Amino acid sequence: MLQLADMRLWSGRVDSEDGKAGKRWHQDIVPLHLDSPPGLAILGFASDEGVRRNKGRIGAAKGPRILRLALANLPKTFGAPLYDAGNVRVEKDDLESGQSMLGARITDLMTAGHFPLVLGGGHEIAFGSYQGIARWMREQQREKTLGIINFDAHLDLRLPAPKGSSGTPFFQIAEQCDVNGRPFNYLCVGAAATANTPALYHRAEELGAQVISDREIVPWRIELVQKQIADFIERVDFVYLTIDLDVFPAAVMPAVSAPAGRGVAFELFEPLLDTVLESKKVCLADIAEFNPYFDIEDHAARTAARVVFQIANGIKG
């Protein structure tokens, strides 16, 4: 179901004495309309169904609402228009219709020239996001290639059994690529050996996926990891960036379906994200798995908001 933007969520501090330089997101964001000039469009995906099917902790459907509250007071440091495009809400257990609706909404936004920044929701968001990009590419960019960069402790290459879940989206995407004669270009950054079975690593190898483990992301190897990411990006025309917040340590990000025992330190994640954004090839980004029920004094919400802030400024700054 499509939901209109709830602009009541966008409120906060006002520093009127500082003029335009003191503006915050809540002062600049407006509801998206059909004739809105191209800008950054915040779109929510309110879904728990994929997490439920994957036997995770329920609560991510509330993520888009709480993340908007966390974003409201961010300083507006980029010049592009900022829009709230509302939510796509999954009704009952009909995840597949919700993903299809999300894809259609994303295609419409991209066709209109907007950059969609999608707030989840479980990582089942990825299959919906991909549907939107794939349709846009078929209509607008027929000869171009797409690369998927997933910051995640999990490979999310499980087999649908029998339906898709938050653990299956990249296998589902690989199937779609095969059906449509498209290459499956997938890089998972931050995968944890404790969170993925040998079967998943074997499947990643079979599908030609690239994997950078969390143990490889240490200060003395950070430039090498940046080069691995840059080399991946160089081989594609567009990048779909997806960030599962469980890539961070549980102490930093407790509010997810499956908290990480180790994770990637935030101060190492930021330069890796910059490497992706500086390529200027990112066409869509989404944030997955934020579960506000398990947050502690908004620590996780603020961390997620900082990630969104970095993406927004990297894309539109």
- Known binding residues for Mn(2+): 123, 152, 154, 156, 244, 246
DSSP code at position 2:
E
- In degrees to the nearest 10, what's the CA dihedral of 95, 100, 106, 108? -150
DSSP code at position 152:
-
Binding-site residue positions: 123, 152, 154, 156, 244, 246
Phi, psi of 206 (to 5 degrees): -60, -35
User: Which residues partner with 166 through β-bridges?
Assistant: none
Q: Please give the angle made by the CA atoms of 275, 201 and 180, to the nearest 5 degrees.
A: 75
d(CA 162, CA 233): 33
Location of structure tokens 């004495």 = 17
For the four alpha carbons of 71, 308, 112 and 317, in that order, the dihedral sign comes to: positive
d(CA 77, CA 226): 25
d(CA 317, CA 271): 16
Using only C-alpha atoms, what is the Rg of the chain?
Answer: 18
221 in the Ramachandran plot: left (φ > 0), alpha (ψ -120 to 50) or beta? alpha
- Retrieve residue 230's tokens: 């840059």
Q: Please give the angle made by the CA atoms of 147, 148 and 152, to the nearest 5 degrees.
A: 155
Query: Which of 53, 14, 11, 25 lies closest to 257, judged by CA?
Result: 53
